[in-house]
Amino acid sequence: MPAPANRIDERFTQLKASGKRAFVAYVCAGDPTLAATIDIVLALEKAGVDIVELGIPFSDPLADGIVNQMAADRALKAGATMAGVLDMIRQLRTHSQVPIVLFTYLNPVYAYGFERFHHEAAAAGADGVLILDLPPDEAVENPELKPTDELRHIQLIAPTTPPERIASIAKSAEGFVYYVSRLGVTGAQAEIATGIAEQVARIKQATDIPVCVGFGVSNPQQAATIASMADGVVVGSAIVKLIEKHGSASELPQQLETFVKPLVDAVHAL
């Protein structure tokens, strides 16, 4: 039985029809506060962002660089919880229908309860989930790890992923494949990684699902270059750094829109 349509699928259908690539923005939910996150997401949407990845703050975000680690720490110290993040999404949905992916580690989902998390996240208005440290093999073999078809399960593929594993992961991918363009942790980089076009082409041989590339994108030129090789670009640390700089200042939403719009425009102009 096919999974029901959701906002991620619809957005990629719209982008494909107009010949555009997707711009995906990452921020940590609750940084600087959950209330401020609503204004942040609305500012990102106003800047033209196609999909928003909301990080669930976690005490041990091992795949994240220092910028995103500190964002999670600020969010936790400000009182962010899984239940609080889901409630914030419910409030956000009264203002926006931007596609939302919950970017999380296994531990917070496990602690909250797999079935409870999936059903409540879908009911709140989330569209997808990316569990960084859940091996796709485990998800396939254990259906209880995916108790609902309402959320698209985004899969990660790395530069070191061998061809046979790329095919296996791509086969179970939903929404889009997130290609991690470099080894190591998240963080803005001065130069983009090599071999992106070849790896994206390899992934696209195994699936019709869109492929978005992230890890290290920080300026419009980098965003445009990567977008020319893929179906979308993910930008996170550069945006989170701006949130760190301005904190709870009233001008934060405008600063974000001003910073992000040239990045979005560079991707959409292709």
Query: Catalytic residue positions?
Result: 53, 64
- The half-sphere exposure of 192 on its side-chain side, counting CA atoms within 13 A, is 24
Q: Give the H/E segment covering residue 158.
A: none
Within 10 A of 41 (CB to CB), how many other CB atoms are there? 25
**d(C-alpha 218, C-alpha 235), whole Å:** 7
| Beta-ladder partners of 155 | 177
Question: What are the backbone angles phi and psi of residue 49, rounded to the nearest 5°?
Answer: -60, 135
Give φ, ψ of 62 to 5 degrees: -65, -25
Residue 123: CB atoms within 10 A of its CB come to 13
- 3-class SS of residue 214: strand
What ranges in 131-251 are assigned the alpha helix state H?
136-141, 163-171, 196-204, 220-227, 237-246
**DSSP for 52-104, written as a single string:** EEEE---S--TTS-HHHHHHHHHHHHTT--HHHHHHHHHHHTTT----EEEEE
Identify the residue whose tokens are 């990452």.
26
Q: d(Cα 263, Cα 10) in Å, to the nearest integer?
A: 22
